[in-house]
Chains A and B, each alone.
Chain A
Amino acid sequence: MTLKIKDDKPFLRDTSKMLWDGEPAHAEVKDMSPHISFAQITSDVVNSLENPRPIYWWAIAVCVFMIAVGVACEVYQYRTGLGVSNKSNTNVWGVYIASFVFWVGVSHAGTLLSALLHLTHSDWRKSVFRYAEAMTTFALMTAGLFVLVHLGRMWQVYYVMPYPNERGVWSNFQSPLVWDMFVIGTYLTCSSIFLYTGMIPDLAVFRDNIHDGWRKKLYTFLAMGWQGTDRHWRNFRVAYLTLSVYLIILAVSGHSVVSSDFAMSQQPGFHITSFPPYFVVGALYSGNAALITVFIVLRFMFRYEQYLNMDVLRKLVRLTFALAMIWTYLHLIEMATVWYGHDTAARDQLYFKATGAYAGWWWLFNFLAIVCPWVMAFRRWQTNLPVQMVLSLLLNVGMWLERWMIVAPTLGHSHYPWTFDFDQWPSFVQWGILFASFGWFALLILIFCKVFPAVSMYELKELNYARKVEAHHALVGEPATKGAH
């Protein structure tokens, strides 16, 4: 690559120094440094397949242990009955459904970054969107597991699917759960396709750079003979754009339909009109917080400090803060409509949340999800890795509690006085399976990042080229024009 920049010195890669210090806040760090060459991007990403830090293997071990705990709990629950999870006839849903909503929520950030910001030409997304998109797929897979775990007879889950059967019986298309099955299934399929399609050029690079082993065969198969010709790129651009448009609609409709599981029921506390936007924004919020967590982990684990850099983190944190504020507004609005509404049952329900058996958790969730994100408003904390790590985890705990507070106290205080006195504390089985879900999700992410390009090489090169053109124009003194599209 001919760099039209005079001082073309190699970028310093003192990763140990960069690890936790971050870069000084005053430095004018761009989302992509023009000093990196195309070949270096390729070699960095290809090398990430081979030598992650040792902590990677420890993380894998921890994940496997977490999954083992959950599998043990699930086997116990499967053999004995759902009763061991300690739910009751009033509090029938509990942690599983809350976690289902949580994981579907986490999936939304990936779509926001990869699809919505792709349409708006937000170039800073280019280093983070690939693993975010992978998070979408894996979070949906985790959410799907919770559906199975939640069902009383999971071995007959295929009854929900409308397939031409011998019995002449169909699933009930009027049920929001069937809409869920349709929309979440579509979302999972489409996001996997989107992830794969976006990865084809990078898989071709892997195919060319790895010369033996099962990976060579895998990449050769998956790259589908991509050679980067003008015909490939031209059609790829349009197809990718179309896919991202579909994905945005799908993400919005996806969580709206999940919210209709609640909003379509007659249960006071569920039966709220503003649930769809509330859920969608809550999903983006918690998903972005999870994105920050994974950002920091991957940056360290796979030595992606140059690509997942502080400027990108700052933008990510600002985005999360904005979403948190929108979510706060919707949360307050939701309570206000109940407060000023005529539905006494719903109002009692709100009182119960704030003062009843779950009051402590409710206030904790309000603190974590509403007050904590304000830390993100301060510039000095925006690029502080330890602070952001802890904060993003806290926000995720808060948003998980939010889902749990939608499910558990609401069912514990219904229309009918008979339901009032039961408050069920989930047993170790529920907690064990929830614990395992994080291990399962993390394991999938870790394996993905080791096998597939966790950052998008070709988009990084485009960004890099644009920054080079900018730097060149800045040097030469010409007016800066847009380099890459």
Chain B
Amino acid sequence: MHRIFLNSIVLLVGLFAATASFADSSTAHDGVAPSAGNAAAAAAVEKKGFIADYDNIFIVKGGPEAKPTTEIKPLEWNWVDKLFYNPMGWINSFTDQLGPEVEQPIEFPHDRHAGDPGKVNPDGKTGDGINCMYCHTFARRSLTAGIPPLRKCIGCHQNIPSVRDTPRIVKLFEYWDAGKPIPWKKVHDLPDYVRFNHERHIQRFVFKQERPYKEVCGYCHGDVASMTVARRQRTLSMGFCVNCHKKNHSLDSTYTKAGHGPNDCFMCHK
């Protein structure tokens, strides 16, 4: 009885924390002076409604039903780039771009969580089709995508008794009981001195262009929904970024602003 009470409090706190983390999404960045503009900005955010509310998290814009999934295609190379201007990038596009296998404290099964519900995974179970941004909540509003806090895992797994005794979940609760965070290892480790911005990419491609999130996230991260432990799929080198930034990504035919990514060094290096 005591334990159920405690757990329900934890669940409530967890839910509150998760909700709060969505609510404060328009907070200005550090170092920005508070101004009258921020309230208006927050209002604009509310009105636009491009940040999904908690209830509809599984069907945020850009979910699987938004548009038919297109294949994750490699970069397109024209012959001039191949021959003269970026032969190394072209050659690299043939080679194995897999990153090293990272050994995580808990082998988090991405396929079980994010996989297609209709598809059977190697372990005999189907995926749950959870949106990436359900756990990596910071991706749509900050530089980093963020690793979910432990309470987020517990928040769900508290209520899923069927898998409670599997070794990975046991380990998860061990961390929880010890009150320690899980020491996840970084998989997509960019080179130093470069600051990739998740927010702009997610906002533009998932929320503005309404592309499927699997395609958008998968462009750099690969088909994570079919992996257990995530592994780096692309070189994530500067040429990888630059080649994409040179392409035209106009939102539509009436969109007059530059269709390509920013060509400004100060955007990523500062």
Q: Taking the nearest CB of chain A, how far is it from the CB of B235, in angstroms?
A: 8
Residues in B with CB closer than 8 Å to A168 are: 85-86, 89, 238-239, 242-243, 246
Residues in A with CB closer than 8 Å to B238 are: 166-169
Q: Beta-carbon contacts of B81-113 to A below 8 Å, as 1s and 0s?
A: 000111111001000000000000000000000
Interface presence of B254 (CB below 8 A): no
Residues in A with CB closer than 8 Å to B92 are: 166
Residues in A with CB closer than 8 Å to B246 are: 168
In Å, the complex CA distance between A165 and B91 comes to 11
Q: B88's closest neighbor in chain A, by CB?
A: A166
Q: Taking the nearest CB of chain A, how far is it from the CB of B31, in angstroms?
A: 27
Q: Beta-carbon contacts of A160-186 to B below 8 Å, as 1s and 0s?
A: 000011111100000000000000000
In Å, the complex CA distance between A168 and B75 comes to 14
Interface presence of B237 (CB below 8 A): yes
Q: Taking the nearest CB of chain A, how far is it from the CB of B195, in angstroms?
A: 16
Which residues between 129 and 180 of chain A lie within 8 Å of chain B, taking CB atoms?
164-169
Question: Which of B85, B237, B242, B243 makes the CB contact (< 8 A) with A164?
Answer: B85
Which residues between 287 and 334 of chain A lie within 8 Å of chain B, taking CB atoms?
none
In Å, the complex CA distance between A167 and B243 comes to 9
Which residues between 43 and 94 of chain B lie within 8 Å of chain A, taking CB atoms?
84-89, 92
Q: Taking the nearest CB of chain A, how far is it from the CB of B260, in angstroms?
A: 13
Q: Beta-carbon contacts of B211-243 to A below 8 Å, as 1s and 0s?
A: 000000000000000000000000001110011
Q: Taking the nearest CB of chain B, how far is it from the CB of A164, in angstroms?
A: 5
Q: B92's closest neighbor in chain A, by CB?
A: A166
In Å, the complex CA distance between A167 and B240 comes to 8
In Å, the complex CA distance between A311 and B237 comes to 65
Could you tell me if B84 and A166 are in contact, using CB atoms closer than 8 angstroms? no
In Å, the complex CA distance between A166 and B92 comes to 8
In Å, the complex CA distance between A168 and B85 comes to 7
In Å, the complex CA distance between A169 and B194 comes to 15
Could you tell me if A164 and B239 are in contact, using CB atoms closer than 8 angstroms? no
Q: A168's closest neighbor in chain B, by CB?
A: B242
In Å, the complex CA distance between A167 and B89 comes to 8
Kindly name the residue among A165, A166, A167, A169 whose own CB sees the greatest number of chain B CB atoms within 10 A: A166
Could you tell me if A166 and B239 are in contact, using CB atoms closer than 8 angstroms? yes
Q: Beta-carbon contacts of A364-390 to B below 8 Å, as 1s and 0s?
A: 000000000000000000000000000
Q: A167's closest neighbor in chain B, by CB?
A: B238
Q: A165's closest neighbor in chain B, by CB?
A: B88
Could you tell me if B84 and A167 are in contact, using CB atoms closer than 8 angstroms? no
Kindly name the residue among A164, A165, A168 whose own CB sees the greatest number of chain B CB atoms within 10 A: A168
Residues in B with CB closer than 8 Å to A164 are: 84-88
In Å, the complex CA distance between A164 and B83 comes to 9
Residues in A with CB closer than 8 Å to B239 are: 165-168
In Å, the complex CA distance between A166 and B237 comes to 8
Residues in A with CB closer than 8 Å to B243 are: 168
Q: Taking the nearest CB of chain B, how far is it from the CB of A273, in angstroms?
A: 34
Q: B243's closest neighbor in chain A, by CB?
A: A168
Residues in A with CB closer than 8 Å to B87 are: 164
Q: Taking the nearest CB of chain B, how far is it from the CB of A224, in angstroms?
A: 33
Could you tell me if A167 and B237 are in contact, using CB atoms closer than 8 angstroms? yes
Which residues between 121 and 172 of chain B lie within 8 Å of chain A, taking CB atoms?
none
Which residues between 354 and 370 of chain A lie within 8 Å of chain B, taking CB atoms?
none
Residues in A with CB closer than 8 Å to B242 are: 167-169
Residues in A with CB closer than 8 Å to B86 are: 164-166, 168
Q: B84's closest neighbor in chain A, by CB?
A: A164
Q: Taking the nearest CB of chain A, how far is it from the CB of B76, in angstroms?
A: 15
Residues in A with CB closer than 8 Å to B88 are: 164-166
Residues in A with CB closer than 8 Å to B85 are: 164, 168
The residues of B with any CB-CB pair to A shorter than 8 Å are: 84-89, 92, 237-239, 242-243, 246
Sort A-B residue pairs by CB-CB distance and give the 7 closest, nearest first.
Answer: A166-B239, A167-B238, A166-B88, A168-B242, A166-B89, A164-B87, A167-B239
9 A-B contacts, Cβ less than 8 Å apart? A164-B84, A166-B88, A166-B89, A166-B239, A167-B238, A167-B239, A168-B85, A168-B238, A168-B239
Apart from A166-B86, A166-B92, A168-B243: 4 A-B pairs, beta carbons within 8 A:
A166-B239, A167-B242, A168-B89, A168-B246
